[in-house]
Structure 1
Amino acid sequence: MQANQKLKAIGMGVVASVFFCSTYVLNSFISVGNGHWAWTVALRTLFLLLILLGILQYKNQLKPLLHTLKQQPKVWVFWGSIWFGLIYVLLTAAASFGPGWLIAGVFQFTIVAGILLSPFLYKDGRAKIPVRALLLSILILAGIALMQWSQRNGTYTDAQLLICIVLVLLAAVIWPLANRKMLLFVEEQGYELNSMQRVAGTAIGSLPVLFMLMGFGYTEAGLPGNSQLLAVFAISLSSGVIGTILFFKATHLARTHSAALAAVEATQSIEILATVIGEVLLLGIAWPSLTGNVGMFLITAGLILYSIPARKKVLSTV
């Protein structure tokens, strides 16, 4: 993998992470407004799918995708249900038990989870854990921990925060597993699908779960309000369309290099910085203390080390 490809993939990951943060900020906004989590999960993906289908139809890429889906529909339904169903159920439900900054921070466990899953997913050189990349990921997680510590003693009880953390940790392990399994599936089957087609195919596969969630949301809370509809649409466009496609493109570029792939996944740590800024501006939370600022510095330092492809001692596997 060439150095400029590594840098491009990492840059895409950073930009994607900024768009991803809308999920945490707006989920908190919806939760404060008593919007039901099942409607949020289902509508988020439904809005995303409608947008993608329109774009793919315009680019004449929808028919090839549908043809591909017909060949092995069970795989798309399974991973679609996991990706756009289970993961977002966990993250959205967590917003009822903790603030967005905590969810964004704990979710960064995906950085380490993705690395540790490699030996169980690959049979080639990617199966080897890049130890130096793992150490840099731990540095980033240390920064995240400091940011979280700086925000303790908030309005949530210890029990609520514990439930929030458990829900997000589950999502943080499932996220890289689902992403890498879908990458492997497309790679092994030889499907010629771009990032947008892959996102749309996974979303189509999730439709059975989405309909069940909408039914559950209706029985529990009736129809969603206008504010929830608007917020969910913003999440779909920002995080679902722009963020997800950019992140998929980044992981596609880095798919053959385990350390570079780990670096791309590590760019998700930017989400916590963007989420704090978003919650300060939109929800009025306090800016992190000195401890929190030290955490931000550690995160930034880890990302800088990741983003220098010329330093093989940083990005190479051991």
Structure 2
Amino acid sequence: MQANSNLKAIALGSAACVFFSSTYILNSFLSSRGGHWAWTTGLRTTFLVLLLLAVLAAKGQLGQLLRVMRQNLRVWLVWGGVAFGLSYIFLTCAASFGPGWLVAGVFQFTIVAGILLSPFLYKDHRAKVPLRALLLSLLIMAGIACMQWSQRNGSYTPHQLWWCIGLVMLAAFAWPLANRKLLLHVEEEGHSLSAMQRVAGTALGSLPVQLMLLLYGYFQVGLPGQGQLLTVFLISLSSGVVGCILFFKAMHLARSSAASLAAVEATQSIEILVTVIGEVLLLGVSWPNWLGNLGMLLIICGLVLYTVPSRQKALQVT
């Protein structure tokens, strides 16, 4: 039963990451057309909050969420600000310094970052770094490295690419840290929140950060254009609503095992494959060469190894 639950979590995580990929593709699209990063980041979460609150209100679940948040508002403000504030500021800014495939690829370091953070977040069996899960995550990272190296002669300068990598690395640690801290808080307090409620609560907690971003964007460039508004709305709907809900459901199913959590987080490597395909079809980016294709193969192999029957023991609750 536990093995089936873990496989379902991995499948949900994989589906979520297909929707997450819209962030990288559309951020690159906006950056290439002069859309200011502050408006992109602030509007993304603002639209997300409005969409989720409408759905929760219709389902009669909004009141419960607000009561839970009032019990410890500081936790939601802090980690919501990190998850939907800092991490997306870093990712959106990075799109100004490098292509979407680089942002998507480097962000996969969150796979390893989530594992390395476990000893500092948990006090039970999950505090142990699962060696086999770490090795499989490193296999995926090797595939990502091949894909990045295959694109080293692109149109961006080394200085721009290093800025891109640095910003995304910060996001790669901020995202799993905030995600796991809020998941742990909900678990310890015994709250019964759905995946949609947790996403909405995280987004609501980040609103002070979003307000500052919107004000900053206004004083920098004035109001955003209609094209930027529409594009950011699509990002919010695809990545913010559908992607986050699916990913939070996957994390909830895998919450009792560090190895299972690592497996779900490893599904994020799918984002780079979808991003490359999207940029090739929509933005005219060249398809990776043989080294890039080798990288894709390594990523797929790493994901398959997480799901084969021989991995079930490592993914069970101990």
TM range (shorter): over 0.9
Q: Which residue of 2 aligns with 1:303?
A: 303
**Offset of residue 111 of structure 1:** 0.5
Residues 77-133 of structure 1: CA deviation (Å, up to 9, x unaligned): 111111111110000000000000000000000110111111111111111111001
Q: Which residue of 2 aligns with 1:44?
A: 44
TM-score, normalised by the number of residues in structure 1? 0.98
The answer as to whether partners of 1:15 and 1:243 remain within 8 angstroms in 2 is yes
Q: What code does the residue aligned with 2:27 have?
A: N
Q: Which residue of 2 aligns with 1:257?
A: 257
Q: What code does the residue aligned with 1:102 have?
A: L
**Offset of residue 307 of structure 1:** 1.4
In 2, the alpha carbon distance for the partners of 1:10 and 1:62 equals 28
Identity %: 68
Q: Which residue of 1 aligns with 2:268?
A: 268
Q: What code does the residue aligned with 2:43 have?
A: L
**Offset of residue 174 of structure 1:** 1.0
3-state SS, counterpart of residue 192 of structure 2: coil
Q: Which residue of 2 aligns with 1:89?
A: 89
The answer as to whether partners of 1:132 and 1:316 remain within 8 angstroms in 2 is no
Compared with structure 1, are the counterparts of its residues 316 and 290 closer, same or farther at alpha carbon in structure 2 (3 Å cutoff)?
farther
5 Å-filtered alignment, 1:130-169, equals 130-169=130-169
Q: Which residue of 1 aligns with 2:200?
A: 200
Compared with structure 1, are the counterparts of its residues 309 and 67 closer, same or farther at alpha carbon in structure 2 (3 Å cutoff)?
farther
Q: What code does the residue aligned with 1:260 have?
A: S
Residue ranges of structure 1 left out of the alignment (5+ in a row): none
The answer as to whether partners of 1:7 and 1:308 remain within 8 angstroms in 2 is no
The answer as to whether partners of 2:257 and 2:317 remain within 8 angstroms in 1 is no
**Offset of residue 309 of structure 1:** 4.4
Residues 166-211 of structure 1: CA deviation (Å, up to 9, x unaligned): 0000100111111100011111111111111011111111111111
In 1, the alpha carbon distance for the partners of 2:313 and 2:201 equals 38
In 2, the alpha carbon distance for the partners of 1:126 and 1:308 equals 22
3-state SS, counterpart of residue 255 of structure 2: coil
**Offset of residue 263 of structure 1:** 0.2
3-state SS, counterpart of residue 256 of structure 2: coil
The answer as to whether partners of 2:257 and 2:316 remain within 8 angstroms in 1 is no
Q: What code does the residue aligned with 2:80 have?
A: G
**Offset of residue 308 of structure 1:** 2.0
The answer as to whether partners of 1:130 and 1:317 remain within 8 angstroms in 2 is no
In 2, the alpha carbon distance for the partners of 1:206 and 1:175 equals 13
5 Å-filtered alignment, 1:71-220, equals 71-220=71-220
In 2, the alpha carbon distance for the partners of 1:306 and 1:233 equals 34
In 2, the alpha carbon distance for the partners of 1:261 and 1:44 equals 26
In 2, the alpha carbon distance for the partners of 1:160 and 1:225 equals 26
The answer as to whether partners of 2:144 and 2:295 remain within 8 angstroms in 1 is yes
Q: Which residue of 2 aligns with 1:244?
A: 244
**Offset of residue 311 of structure 1:** 3.4
3-state SS, counterpart of residue 108 of structure 2: helix
In 1, the alpha carbon distance for the partners of 2:35 and 2:130 equals 42
Q: What code does the residue aligned with 2:18 have?
A: V
TM-score, normalised by the number of residues in structure 2? 0.98
Compared with structure 1, are the counterparts of its residues 111 and 105 closer, same or farther at alpha carbon in structure 2 (3 Å cutoff)?
same
**Offset of residue 312 of structure 1:** 3.8
The answer as to whether partners of 1:132 and 1:315 remain within 8 angstroms in 2 is no
In 2, the alpha carbon distance for the partners of 1:111 and 1:273 equals 15
**Offset of residue 316 of structure 1:** 6.5
**Offset of residue 264 of structure 1:** 0.2
Q: What code does the residue aligned with 1:286 have?
A: S
Q: Which residue of 2 aligns with 1:224?
A: 224
The answer as to whether partners of 2:41 and 2:92 remain within 8 angstroms in 1 is yes
Q: Which residue of 1 aligns with 2:280?
A: 280
Compared with structure 1, are the counterparts of its residues 127 and 43 closer, same or farther at alpha carbon in structure 2 (3 Å cutoff)?
same
1:292 correspondence with 2:299: no
In 2, the alpha carbon distance for the partners of 1:311 and 1:69 equals 37
Matched length: 318
The answer as to whether partners of 1:18 and 1:270 remain within 8 angstroms in 2 is yes
Q: What code does the residue aligned with 1:135 have?
A: L
**Offset of residue 313 of structure 1:** 5.9
**Offset of residue 49 of structure 1:** 0.7
Q: Which residue of 2 aligns with 1:12?
A: 12
